[in-house]
Amino acid sequence: MIKLIVGLILLAAPFLLITLFKDKKRGFVYILFFLIIFHAFLALFTQFFGIFYYGIILGANLLAVLGLLFYVFINRKNAQFEFKKIDWFVFIVAIISVITLYQVHYNYTGKYNMVNDALYQYHDAQNMKYVYPYFSDEWYAVSFVKEAINSNSLPLKNPFDSSFFVNPEIVFHSFIAEIMLFLGLDPLTQYTALSIFINTLLILLTYLFLRISNVSKFSSAVASLSILYITSASNLPGIWNLIPFTMGIILTLIGFCFMAKKDKIIFPILAGFFAFLFYPPLIIFTLIGLLVYLFNYPKTNGRNN
């Protein structure tokens, strides 16, 4: 529990930088983007050199947070925060998302089927609690995450026989292992808890993207919460699951936010690159977005940079 509390505080601390941004939505997106990059690089670096230990991860995060806090302190005169300007729809979207996603695993009422059931055969559940992942890809993600934590190295071994395995999703598994180790979570029984948090973040990013695109608060909230209705099934993962596609979509949304704000071209490119690392097939969508942005970039560059 102590590791979880300390980890959550250190993960939240960088968002104090939002006070230095005039546009708070833009600040949140930037901070989240670089926070993901930091933890991904920290995971890959420590696992590559075989120093993937809690003390190393904690120390690196402490140094980074202390540096950020010092930066906020010396720039405190530029800090801007007004309580009356808080967007309360953000909290409404977050609360509804957490409650809904929580019920999927910890208080589910409805129909479900099992892998060995006949087609269209369903069972009824009443307040069912199932703390384990639902989707097969999540199960082997759990295996790779546990392997990385136990071996203090990159998830490049088959968890079942320790043979070498070419892991095309290494960045995702490495990143999740680092977050699990940092927060002191059990990959088997608490993978779903991390899934709730990350998928809530995905919904919030959708809301922010729509707001940055000048969609009204109410419409943005309704549209983003509608993601909760995306179907999840045995062969069609959705918002209930935490898979490489999830992190890829988050980084793609971050890239789209950069484009909507007409930021420097390097930021959408970086976001697209990391979306590719987490889930390579998304390169199709990120490339289309980047090409459209590049085509219009000369028209907007002089106004925003």
Q: How many domains does the chain have?
A: 1
Contact status, residue 157 vs residue 164, Cβ threshold 8 Å:
yes
Any domain includes 127: no
Cβ neighbours for 38, distance < 8 A, ≥ 6 positions apart:
64
Residue 299 is predicted with a pLDDT of 56
Structure tokens at 158: 């088959």
37 part of a folded domain: yes
Note whether residue 182 is domain-resident: yes
Amino acid at 223: A
| AA identity, residue 217 | K
Q: What is the pTM of this model?
A: 0.88
Residue 89, amino acid: F
The domain of 196 spans 2-87+133-207+241-304
pLDDT number for residue 289: 80
Residue 163, burial from CB neighbour count under 10 angstroms (0-12, 13-18, 19+): exposed
**Averaged in consecutive runs of 10 residues, what is the pLDDT profile of the chain (305 residues)?**
92 90 88 95 95 96 93 81 77 94 88 72 83 87 93 87 86 96 93 94 94 92 92 77 92 90 85 92 84 70 46
Judge whether 98 lies within some domain: no
Whether residue 17 is contained in a domain is answered as: yes
Which element (helix H / strand E) includes 109? strand 108-112
Does the residue 49 lie in any domain? yes
Q: Which residues contact 256 (CB under 8 A, 6 or more apart)?
A: 209, 268, 289
| CB of 149 closer than 8 Å to CB of 187 | yes
Cα 241 to its chain centre, rounded Å, is 12
In a domain, 226, yes or no: no
Is 104 part of a structural domain of the chain? no
Are the C-beta atoms of residues 139 and 34 closer than 8 Å to each other?
no
Residue-level pLDDT at 303? 44
Q: Are 236 and 242 in contact (CB under 8 A)?
A: no
